[in-house]
């Protein structure tokens, strides 16, 4: 379908400026877009905070475990010192002149005292060192007289201070990944005090080396750490997804509202431009119509006189014909400038369509156009029959003019659900030349046309009529070739 719009653009219509300042909708939506960016930043901050908190809790738990285990070892050392002073030293002094763990009886006595003292304590091994750093007793007999000790913790224990160190030893068992498992041992050096009769600490007799296996406890802390990190990540991710959905939903709503606001602003600006243009067109049309009537009547009088002397002279006929064409253009101008308010009444939609097609039947036959009717859906609409007839007449004229060598026009009606209730939809689809994609957005602009002849107001008048009926009109390319015009009108309540 071709569009009977003028090639000249209205001087009152401003040109779009793509490089100008941002629109109101863009500036109003930008602050909310920042919320979307802050959502990611907030997720990262919360995740880092959660990970740091998990690591801090795990580290504090490890430190507390080490401190408690060290205190546990010192308590065991004091208990063993007391037992050794009360049982071993007194027994040895009673039967021997001096103590020597190389003696089998003394070693067995020491072993019984140590093992009885650490019973109930989670102690893996106990070594006793002399002042030369040699192991003189161990719960593991293989270590006796096999290694010396010269560490700082040992030296601190000799002068009466306890010291602990967390060491890692291979356990000799392979893990699931083929790596050697490691055992975490808290190594505590504590002095062996000779307890006096009054219960006070007398002098240092040697050094305890107490081993506590913390592997299981540290593994439990690690599991707690991994579980807390995983829980934090999952919780932060879930929270982020919820916040993200809320932000995206709000962003979508805000963007739709801004688009609607922008559309209403454009409609307001377009209405203001069209109102000014209509006033100008009405004034110009009124001024032209008076001299045009004089020209037309003078041409008719001239025609009657010339036919008496020159019957074959066609010059007056040309003037009369062009005057009538000019008068038709002025009528379109006035229809556009001063649209009539519709007098709504129940109208049978197929009757209006058939009335248009019957009026255009000579042109339809002349252009060898085939009309296909497919009527369905609601038939009664709220409309002004005269204005509706004129609107459809413009659409059918455009369709026929787009098919000078014949074709097919499909006219169909159906029912649709609109924003304001039920609507009757009319689709007029031709198989003509169609409209260029770049011209499609401007087909309803006044004075825009792709034809050599035409005022460029036909579709603008159609849009005014349909909008005054609280309806909608769309123009789009057909499925294959041609153009489809879609008109929707409110259905009559009855």
492: left (phi over 0), alpha (psi -120 to 50) or beta: beta
Residues 402-423 have a mean pLDDT of 80
| Nearest CA-CA partner of 141 in 185, 110, 100, 173 | 110
Residues 225-252 have a mean pLDDT of 81
The model's confidence at residue 193, banded by pLDDT at 50, 70 and 90, is confident
Residues 191-208 have a mean pLDDT of 79
Q: What would the 3-class secondary structure string for the chain be?
A: CCCCCCCCCCCCCCCCCCCCCCCHHHHHHHHHHHHHHHHHHHHHHHHHHHHHHHHHHHHHHHHHHHHHHHHHHHHHHHHHHHHHHHHHHHHHHHHCCCCCCCCHHHHHHHHHHHHHHCCCCCCCEEEEECCCCEEEEECCHHHCCCCECCCHHHHHHHCCCCEEEEEEEEEEEECCCCCEEEEEEEEEEEEEEEECCCCCEEEEEEEEEEEEECHHHHHHHHHHHHHHHHHHHHHHHHHHHHHHHHHHHHHHHHHHHHHHHHHHHHHHHHHHHHHHHHHHHHHHHHHHHHHHHHHHHHHHHHHHHHHHHCCCCCHHHHHHHHHHHHHHHHHHHHHHHCCCCCCCEEEEHHHHHHHHHHHCHHHHHHCCEEEEEECCCCCEEEECHHHHHHHHHHHHHHHHHCCCCCEEEEEEEEEEEECCEEEEEEEEEECCCCCCCCCHHHCCCCCCCCCCCCCCCHHHHHHHHHHHCCCEEEEEECCCCCEEEEEEEEECCC
Q: Give, in words, the CATH class of 40-226.
A: alpha beta
pLDDT digit string, tens, across residues 437-448 = 666 766 766 665
Name the β-bridge partners of 47: none
pLDDT digit string, tens, across residues 113-128 = 888 888 877 788 899 9
Place of tokens 């110009």: 284
In degrees and rounded to multiples of 5, residue 138 shows phi and psi of -155, 145
pLDDT digit string, tens, across residues 147-188 = 777 888 888 888 888 888 888 877 666 655 556 677 888 889
In the chain, % of residues over pLDDT 90: 1
Which CATH number applies to 341-490: 1.10.1530.10, 3.40.50.970, 3.30.565.10, 3.40.605.10? 3.30.565.10
pLDDT above 60: residue 493: yes
Q: Please tell me the predicted confidence (pLDDT) of residue 289.
A: 65
Residues 381-410 have a mean pLDDT of 85
Q: How far is CA 79 from the centre of its chain?
A: 67
Give span(s): CATH 3.30.565.10, the chain: 341-490
- Kindly state the tokens that stand for 14: 């401003």
The model's confidence at residue 405, banded by pLDDT at 50, 70 and 90, is confident
Cβ–Cβ under 8 Å, residues 122 and 227: no
Q: Using CB atoms within 10 A of its CB, is residue 332 exposed (0-12), middle (13-18) or buried (19+)? A: buried
Instruction: Measure the CA–CA gap between 35 and 47, rounded to whole angstroms.
Output: 18
Instruction: Measure the CA–CA gap between 241 and 245, rounded to whole angstroms.
Output: 6
Q: Please tell me the predicted confidence (pLDDT) of residue 14.
A: 39
337 versus 285: the higher-pLDDT residue is 285
Give span(s): CATH 3.30.450.20, the chain: 40-226
Instruction: Measure the CA–CA gap between 389 and 381, rounded to whole angstroms.
Output: 13
In the chain, % of residues over pLDDT 70: 76
Mean pLDDT of the residues in the chain: 77
pLDDT above 80: residue 15: no
Q: Please tell me the predicted confidence (pLDDT) of residue 447.
A: 62
The model's confidence at residue 6, banded by pLDDT at 50, 70 and 90, is very low
């Amino acid at each position: 379908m071709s569009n009977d719009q003028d090639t000249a653009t209205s001087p009152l219509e401003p040109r779009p400026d793509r490089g100008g300042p941002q629109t109101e909708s863009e500036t109003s939506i930008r602050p909310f877009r920042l919320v979307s960016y802050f959502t990611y930043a907030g997720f990262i901050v919360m995740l880092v905070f959660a990970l740091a908190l998990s690591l801090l809790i795990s580290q504090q738990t490890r430190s507390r475990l080490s401190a408690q285990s060290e205190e546990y070892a010192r308590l065991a050392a004091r208990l063993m010192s007391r037992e050794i002073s009360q049982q071993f030293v007194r027994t040895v002094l009673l039967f021997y002149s001096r103590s020597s763990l190389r003696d089998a009886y003394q070693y067995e006595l020491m072993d019984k005292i140590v093992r009885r003292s650490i019973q109930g304590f989670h102690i893996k091994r106990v070594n006793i060192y002399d002042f030369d750093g040699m192991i003189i007793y161990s719960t593991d007999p293989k270590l006796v007289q096999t290694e010396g000790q010269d560490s700082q913790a040992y030296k601190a224990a000799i002068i009466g201070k306890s010291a602990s160190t967390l060491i890692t030893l291979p356990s000799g068992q392979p893990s699931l990944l083929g790596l050697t498992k490691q055992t975490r041992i808290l190594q505590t050096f504590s002095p062996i005090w000779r307890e006096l009769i009054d219960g006070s600490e007398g002098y240092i007799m040697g050094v305890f080396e107490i081993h506590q296996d913390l592997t299981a406890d540290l593994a439990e802390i690690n599991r707690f750490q991994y579980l807390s990190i995983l829980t934090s990540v999952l919780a932060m991710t879930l929270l982020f997804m919820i916040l993200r959905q809320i932000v995206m939903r709000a962003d979508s709503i805000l963007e739709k509202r801004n688009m609607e606001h922008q559309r209403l602003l454009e409609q307001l600006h377009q209405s203001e431009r069209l109102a000014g243009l209509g006033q100008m067109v009405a004034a110009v049309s009124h001024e032209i119509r008076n001299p045009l009537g004089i020209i037309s009547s003078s041409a008719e009088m001239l025609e009657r006189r010339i036919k008496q002397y020159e019957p074959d002279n066609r010059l007056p006929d040309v003037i009369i014909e062009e005057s009538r064409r000019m008068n038709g253009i002025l009528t379109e101008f006035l229809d556009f400038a001063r649209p009539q308010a519709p007098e709504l009444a129940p109208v049978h939609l197929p009757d209006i369509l058939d009335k248009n097609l019957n009026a255009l039947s000579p042109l339809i036959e002349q252009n060898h156009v085939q009309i296909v009717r497919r009527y369905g859906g609601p038939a009664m609409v709220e409309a002004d029959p005269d204005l509706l007839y004129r609107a459809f007449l413009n659409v059918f004229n455009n369709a026929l003019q787009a098919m000078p060598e014949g074709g097919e026009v499909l006219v169909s009606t159906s029912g649709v659900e609109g924003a304001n209730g039920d609507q009757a939809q009319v689709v007029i689809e031709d198989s003509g030349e169609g409209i260029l994609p770049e011209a499609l957005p401007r087909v309803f602009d006044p004075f825009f046309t792709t034809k050599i002849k035409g005022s460029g107001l036909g579709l603008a008048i159609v849009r005014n009529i349909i909008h005054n009926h609280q309806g909608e009109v769309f123009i789009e390319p057909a499925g294959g070739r041609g153009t489809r015009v879609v008109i929707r009108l409110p259905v009559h309540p009855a």
